[in-house]
Amino acid sequence: MSLRDIHNLDYTVLLCSRMAETTAFYRDIMKFPVEVDRQNWVSFRVGASLLTLRPRMKWPVCDDGEAIEGSAAVQLAFRVSPPAVDACHKELVAHGVEILREPTDLPDWRHRTLFFRDPENNIIEIYAEY
């Protein structure tokens, strides 16, 4: 067994300074089903993977450090069907989510994309391949 045996990304953990707000965002706006709901650990089912939230803190493994206000830590990209990009845009606007870039075709990538941020300032992309 070696590092070459890694073939799956099972879950992604987002470090949160705004745990309640970020939980509500992914549950109520993004509509991701809750898989695990604990005080300091909330996991959402996204296809075959889990998107997990936990508070940013000092813990036995390391100190997560402070988040820099307004700075993204990650970019998450969620793939949908081509018509869904525009439908997602309408839903996000209806929920008052600030859009960084409205649905846009990127011919070099063969993608239609939409960009916005979550409450932790992470960049979220919804895209479709065409």
Cα gap 67→120, rounded to integer Å = 9
Q: Domain spanning 1-59: which CATH class is it, in words?
A: alpha beta
Please tell me the CATH superfamily of domain 72-130, with its number: 2,3-Dihydroxybiphenyl 1,2-Dioxygenase, domain 1 (3.10.180.10)
Digit-coded pLDDT (tens) for 36-72: 999 999 999 999 999 999 999 999 999 999 988 889 8
Global pTM reads 0.92
Q: Tell me the two tokens of residue 107.
A: 């011919």
Q: 104: closest CA among 95, 91, 114, 96?
A: 114
> What pLDDT is stored for residue 1 in this prediction?
81
Pairing relationship of beta strands 123-129 and 111-117 according to DSSP bridges: antiparallel
pLDDT in tens, the chain (130 residues): 899 999 999 999 999 999 999 999 999 999 999 999 999 999 999 999 999 999 999 999 999 999 888 898 999 999 999 999 999 999 999 999 999 999 999 999 999 999 999 999 999 999 999 9
Which part of the chain has CATH 3.10.180.10?
Answer: 1-59, 72-130
